[in-house]
Amino acid sequence: MDEELKPTINVATPLWRGSPAASYVVSESQSSVVVPPDPSFDQSVFGEASSQNKLPSGSTKITEGSARSSGSTRPQATRLLNASSNRILNKMELQMASGPKWMCIRRFTLALFFIAVICFAAAALVIVIQTPECKVVPKLGWWQEGPLYRIALQSFRDTTGNGIGDLPVYRTSEKIERNGWKIQYKIKKKFEGHIASMISEKQQGTYIKLCAVLLLTMPGTPVFYYGDEIALKDYKESKYPLMRWDKSKYAGFANSVPWISPAYTPVYTPTVNQQSEDPLSTLSFYRTLGKMRIEEQPLQYGDFSVMLNTTNILAYVRQWHETGILVILNFGGAVTYDFTALNLPPTAVLLAKSTNLTQCELIHLQTMVIEANVGYVLRYFKVE
pLDDT tens per residue, range 105-121: 888 899 999 999 999 99
CATH code: domain of residue 305: 2.60.40.1180
Q: Which of 295, 330, 347 is the last residue of a domain?
A: 295
Label residue 79 by pLDDT band (50, 70, 90): low
Closest CA to 302 of 217, 362, 360, 378: 217
CA distances from 310 to 18, 49, 203 (A): 101, 112, 20
Cβ distance 226 to 194 under 8 Å? no
Share of the chain above pLDDT 70, in %: 66
Cβ distance 344 to 380 under 8 Å? yes
pLDDT at residue number 81: 52
The three-state (H, E, C) secondary structure of the chain, written as one string: CCHHHCCEEEECCCCCCCCCCCCEEEEECCEEEEECCCHHHHHHHHHHHCCCCCCCCCCCCCCCCCEECCCCHHHHHHHHHHHHHCCCCCHHHHHHCCCHHHHHHHHHHHHHHHHHHHHHHHHHHHHHHHCCCCCCCCCCCHHHCCCEEECCHHHHCCCCCCCCCCCHHHHCCHHHHHHHHHHHHHHCCCCCCCHHHHCCCCCHHHHHHHHHHHHHHCCCCCEEECCHHHCCCCCCCCCCCCCCCCCCCCCCCCCCCCCCCCCCCCCCCCCHHHHHCCCCCHHHHHHHHHHHHHHCHHHHHCEEEEEEECCCEEEEEEEECCEEEEEEEECCCCEEECHHHHCCCCEEEEEEECCCCCCCCEEEHHHEEECCCCEEEEEEECCC
**Least confident window among 194-198, 231-235, 262-266:** 262-266
Per-residue model confidence as pLDDT tens digits over 214-255 = 999 999 999 889 999 999 988 888 888 899 998 888 888 888
pTM greater than the 0.85 cutoff = no
Residue 13 lies in a domain: yes
Q: Is the dihedral angle over the CA atoms 212, 216, 220, 221 positive or is it negative? A: positive
Q: How many domains does the chain have?
A: 3
Say whether both 175 and 258 belong to one domain: yes
Please state, in angstroms and rounded to a whole number, the distance separating the CA atoms of residues 226 and 207: 18
Residue 109 lies in a domain: no
User: What is the mean predicted confidence (pLDDT) over 194-222?
Assistant: 87
Please state, in angstroms and rounded to a whole number, the distance separating the CA atoms of residues 37 and 18: 13
Per-residue model confidence as pLDDT tens digits over 122-149 = 999 998 888 777 778 888 888 888 888 8
User: What is the mean predicted confidence (pLDDT) over 62-75?
Assistant: 46
Say whether both 342 and 243 belong to one domain: no
Please state, in angstroms and rounded to a whole number, the distance separating the CA atoms of residues 313 and 207: 13
Say whether both 334 and 366 belong to one domain: yes
303 backbone dihedrals φ, ψ, rounded to 5°: -70, 155
Q: Of how many residues is the chain composed?
A: 384
Say whether both 242 and 365 belong to one domain: no
By residue range, what is the domain housing residue 43? 3-87
Mean pLDDT taken over the chain: 75
User: What is the mean predicted confidence (pLDDT) over 70-76?
Assistant: 53
Say whether both 206 and 79 belong to one domain: no
> Residue 31 pLDDT > 60, yes or no?
no
Q: Which of 261, 295, 329 is the last residue of a domain?
A: 295
350 backbone dihedrals φ, ψ, rounded to 5°: -75, 125
User: What is the mean predicted confidence (pLDDT) over 87-102?
Assistant: 65
pLDDT at residue number 238: 84
Residue 117 lies in a domain: no
Q: Is the dihedral angle over the CA atoms 263, 265, 269, 273 positive or is it negative? A: positive
pLDDT at residue number 153: 87
The one-letter code for the residue type at 130 is Q
pLDDT at residue number 73: 54
CATH code: domain of residue 166: 3.20.20.80
Residue 338 lies in a domain: yes
Please state, in angstroms and rounded to a whole number, the distance separating the CA atoms of residues 357 and 359: 6
Closest CA to 361 of 345, 379, 346, 373: 379
Residue 114 lies in a domain: no
